[in-house]
Amino acid sequence: MFFEGSEKKIEVIVTREFGSLRALGREFWKEMVACANAEILSSINNEHCDAYLLSESSLFVWDDRFLMLTCGTTTLAKAVVRFINEVGAEKIAFASYQRKNEYLSHLQSSAFTDDLTAIRALLPGDAFRIGHLDSHHHYIFTSNKPYEATADDHTSELLMYHIRGEAADYLRSEHQSAAEIRRLLQLDAMLPGFVFDDFLFEPFGYSINGIRGDRYMTIHITPQENSSYVSFETNLPLEGEYRQIFSRLLGILNPGSWDEIGFNAQRHTENYPAHLCLGSCALSMSQGYRVEFSHYQQLCHEVLIPEPM
């Protein structure tokens, strides 16, 4: 059973004149999610954020911005176009759209170039590829309107491939429970004070959102053995008590390789498994964001098995 785990991602920051995105209400976001061929499964909220768990990944809405991730064969660019048409490009202060190269790109209804054409027709901007074309790589579009990022505006992404070991075996097993997955991932210890909302898919697959104040985290797990993928994302500063989050997740899930993408994020590799950094790059934007990308491969990890076609 194959499922394309890697996400497409949009983040939009609106102007002060717009008002509050949260005031648009659940029905607005339900319709936008439907444009991406997904649906809202559940939600949690606090005084800062509404967090929606989707049939394909997640949606977070604050007063001044929203973040939406969708996986599988979803059509996130169509949701982006709908949002721009509904709100108006003049109300968008900054936007970024990301998409990773897929395992089976021919199953997708569009390529990044198609998405880029549709979005650029409404919102001018710049686009880049980060990573080797013949390996894991990501595409990023950013609007090019004048904007200045705030000092605490940072995001860290950890994208893991080909997991193995005790946790991976459990994530592929029968009779799983969401509570046991949270225990395996040590989320309560790593993220104290967060309120969580999770969902266990059939026959397997797992998603969780968490919020605490204006901070968020999300994890999405596609555990299929030949195409396993796990993503973790947060706007927590990865320092102090949170400095070891990436290394702890790498130790638990034991991926053969992984990507890190950071927007104005702290970077370090303390307590990582023995690895090689196969490539890295940095991209500085005029709006005050520095995007950093690195692709790592663990040493002595994987024995490949020929797969019949």
Q: Which residue ranges form the domains of the chain, and what is each CATH number?
A: 8-298 (3.60.90.10)
The H or E element containing residue 169 is helix 166-171
Q: What is the C-alpha to C-alpha distance for residues 4 and 26, in angstroms, rounded to an integer?
A: 27
Residue range 149-153: mean pLDDT, rounded: 92
Q: What is the C-alpha to C-alpha distance for residues 219 and 11, in angstroms, rounded to an integer?
A: 17
Q: What is the C-alpha to C-alpha distance for residues 31 and 193, in angstroms, rounded to an integer?
A: 31
Q: Is 174 a catalytic residue?
A: no
Residue range 85-93: mean pLDDT, rounded: 97
Q: Is 136 a catalytic residue?
A: no
Dig out the tokens for 135 from the structure: 């390996």
**pTM more than 0.75:** yes
Tell me the H-state helices in the chain: 26-35, 76-87, 112-120, 166-171, 178-185, 187-190, 245-253
Give me the catalytic one of 6, 55, 57, 110. 57
In this predicted structure, what is the pLDDT of residue 301?
66
In this predicted structure, what is the pLDDT of residue 305?
63
Q: Is 228 a catalytic residue?
A: no
Give me the catalytic one of 55, 56, 58, 71. 71
Q: What is the C-alpha to C-alpha distance for residues 164 and 218, in angstroms, rounded to an integer?
A: 21
Q: Is the pLDDT of residue 309 over 80?
A: no
Q: Is the pLDDT of residue 73 over 90?
A: no
Q: Is 31 a catalytic residue?
A: no
Q: Is 109 a catalytic residue?
A: no
